[in-house]
């Protein structure tokens, strides 16, 4: 996103026009990704004014006056980090509405309280309320429940739950482990790596990670030599021993960790001299949920820069007096994307074909696109862990 800081900042109506050209198939060299670029939004010198049109109750807020109804489900009153992140996302939505959405959308924000069961109820209510898009929920069980619904009239859902795999028409917004692993593997393959091994926690998620990594490697003519599931810390040593029996000299070992600390697998790999001169290790964003240890040294990880929120960062800080983070960026991008589509095609222009545009979208966290299975793909920075810190290797793992 560094180059985005230097681009011209035309008026908002120009952004909407560019998006309309892209979405409606006009003869334009532009793409949706260019149109959604927050750097292209004209902003005043003063902090953005946040408009709350109506407050039906403490649990419900309505922003904007536009004809397109959008529902947003956030854990505003939840305790701890869930509530903090929910309130950050609400501020991000307010900024996006001020920038683009107020004349286009009526955004109804409901408080899920961080309660998965209540969030599920609100999600079902939102889906049947006439909303054209549902942004959220953040609770994983609720997002998974929505993905199982099969009604043909269900609106597009932009789920904000961590570690959500997605489903048809229910898109995973937040970076998932499968996407991080795939991007990291692809970055190594782009440099010439051909033979890869995937170590992944056993379970339903293993197939998702394997599929995404396989697809990413195929772009570069590389392949997974084998996928080895492991079940627990005790199974780590066996998984690495099995790898040695099944594959000679892999170029790269990809280590997915799921909810667990990757250290047991890394201990077993280190005993085999991996990483080393001939074999690299690729980790995932889930590693970063645990304290960095010397065992992480030398591994590569593709992940969103948690401190980089693109062109919205300064305006967000000026408006709300605290620093934006990746949760802010996710919420801003989804509201901005919805507003852009409403501008281009009107309230009835929302469908899966539009959201699955292969050109993708450029948001405050960089380029991203949604796949037909509900997963997302992101172009993100590629790092190497050195002395316990992420050292930038490449600014982008790929482009669309």
3-class DSSP string for 194-225:
CEEEEEEECCHHHHHHHHHHHHHHHCCCCEEE
- At residue 318, the pLDDT reads 94
Is residue 30 over pLDDT 90?
A: no
Determine the 3-state secondary structure of 367 from DSSP. Answer: strand
Tokens of 59: 């649990």
pLDDT-derived band at 107 (thresholds 50, 70, 90) equals very high
pLDDT-derived band at 307 (thresholds 50, 70, 90) equals low
Report for 19-33, 36-50, 231-245, 262-276: range of highest mean pLDDT: 262-276
pTM: predicted TM-score of the whole model, two decimal places: 0.83
- At residue 139, the pLDDT reads 98
> Which region among 13-17, 337-341, 348-352 has the lowest average model confidence (pLDDT)?
13-17
- At residue 52, the pLDDT reads 39
Q: Name the residue among 128, 135, 173 with its Cα closest to residue 154.
A: 128
Please give the share of the chain, as a percent, with pLDDT higher than 90.
Answer: 71
Is residue 205 over pLDDT 80?
A: yes
More confident residue, 12 or 30: 30
Cβ burial of 33 (10 Å; 0-12, 13-18, 19+) is: buried
- Residue 194 neighbours by CB distance under 10 Å: 15
Q: How far apart are CA 353 and CA 386, in angstroms?
A: 42
The residue whose two tokens read 């998984």 is: 239
Is residue 310 over pLDDT 90?
A: no
- At residue 233, the pLDDT reads 64
- At residue 366, the pLDDT reads 83
- Residue 206 neighbours by CB distance under 10 Å: 19
Rounded (5°) CA angle 299-255-371 = 105
| Kind of pairing between the strands at 389-394 and 60-63 | unpaired
Is residue 37 over pLDDT 90?
A: no
Is residue 196 over pLDDT 70?
A: yes
pLDDT-derived band at 111 (thresholds 50, 70, 90) equals very high
Q: How far apart are CA 32 and CA 37, in angstroms?
A: 9
- At residue 41, the pLDDT reads 52
Is residue 25 over pLDDT 70?
A: no
Q: Name the residue among 384, 383, 380, 371 with its Cα closest to residue 398.
A: 380
- At residue 395, the pLDDT reads 87
Rg (CA), the chain: 21
- Residue 182 neighbours by CB distance under 10 Å: 30
pLDDT-derived band at 7 (thresholds 50, 70, 90) equals very low
Is the distance from CB of 258 to CB of 203 less than 8 angstroms? yes
Please give the share of the chain, as a percent, with pLDDT higher than 70.
Answer: 83
Question: What's the pLDDT tens digit per position in 168-177?
Answer: 999 999 999 9
Q: How far apart are CA 364 and CA 100, in angstroms?
A: 14
> Which region among 122-126, 129-133, 304-308 has the lowest average model confidence (pLDDT)?
304-308
Report for 30-44, 247-261, 297-311: range of highest mean pLDDT: 247-261
Strands (DSSP E) found in the chain: 54-57, 60-63, 68-74, 105-111, 133-135, 156-159, 170-172, 195-201, 223-230, 252-255, 280-282, 300-302, 361-363, 366-370, 376-378, 382-386, 389-394
Helix axes 326-345, 12-23, angle to 10 degrees: 70
Is residue 305 over pLDDT 90?
A: no
Is residue 243 over pLDDT 90?
A: yes
pLDDT-derived band at 14 (thresholds 50, 70, 90) equals very low
Is the distance from CB of 134 to CB of 126 less than 8 angstroms? yes
> What letter does residue 98 receive in the DSSP assignment?
I
Helix axes 140-148, 116-127, angle to 10 degrees: 40
Q: How far apart are CA 370 and CA 351, in angstroms?
A: 12
Is residue 185 over pLDDT 90?
A: yes
């Amino acid at each position: 996103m560094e180059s985005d800081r230097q681009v011209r900042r035309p008026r908002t109506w120009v952004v909407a026009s560019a998006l309309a050209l892209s979405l409606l198939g006009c003869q334009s060299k532009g793409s949706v990704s260019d149109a959604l670029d927050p750097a292209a939004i004209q902003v005043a010198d003063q902090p953005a004014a946040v408009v709350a049109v109506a407050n039906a109750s403490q649990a419900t807020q309505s922003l904007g006056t536009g004809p397109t109804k959008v529902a947003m489900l956030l854990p505003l009153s939840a305790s701890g980090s869930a509530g903090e992140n929910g309130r950050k996302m609400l501020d991000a939505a307010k900024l996006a509405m001020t920038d683009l959405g107020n004349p286009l959308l009526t955004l109804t924000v409901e408080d899920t309280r961080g309660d998965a069961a209540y969030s599920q109820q609100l999600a079902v209510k939102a889906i049947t309320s006439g909303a054209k898009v549902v942004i959220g929920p953040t609770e994983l069980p609720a997002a998974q429940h929505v993905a199982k619904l099969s009604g043909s009239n269900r609106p597009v859902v932009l789920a904000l739950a961590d570690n959500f795999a997605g489903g048809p028409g229910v898109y995973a917004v937040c970076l998932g482990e499968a996407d991080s692993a795939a991007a990291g593997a692809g970055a190594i393959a782009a440099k010439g790596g051909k033979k890869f091994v995937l170590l992944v926690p056993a379970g339903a998620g293993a197939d998702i990670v394997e599929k995404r990594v396989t697809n990413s490697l195929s772009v570069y003519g590389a392949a997974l030599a084998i996928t080895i599931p492991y079940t627990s810390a005790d199974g780590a040593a066996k998984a690495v021993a099995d790898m040695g029996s099944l594959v000679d000299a892999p170029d790269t070992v990809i280590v997915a960790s799921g909810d667990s600390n990757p250290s047991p697998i890394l201990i077993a790999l280190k005993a085999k001299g991996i990483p080393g001169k001939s074999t690299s290790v690729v980790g995932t964003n889930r590693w970063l949920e645990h304290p960095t240890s010397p065992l992480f040294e030398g591994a590569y990880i593709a992940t969103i820069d948690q401190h980089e929120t693109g062109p919205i960062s300064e305006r967000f800080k000026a408006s709300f007096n605290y620093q934006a983070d990746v949760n802010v960026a996710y919420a801003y991008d989804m509201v901005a994307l919805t507003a852009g589509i409403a501008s281009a095609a009107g309230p009835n222009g929302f469908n899966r074909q539009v959201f699955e545009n292969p050109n993708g979208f450029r948001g405050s966290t960089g380029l991203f696109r949604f796949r037909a299975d509900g997963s997302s793909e992101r172009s993100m920075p590629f790092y190497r862990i050195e002395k316990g810190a992420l050292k930038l290797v490449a600014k982008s793992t790929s482009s669309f």
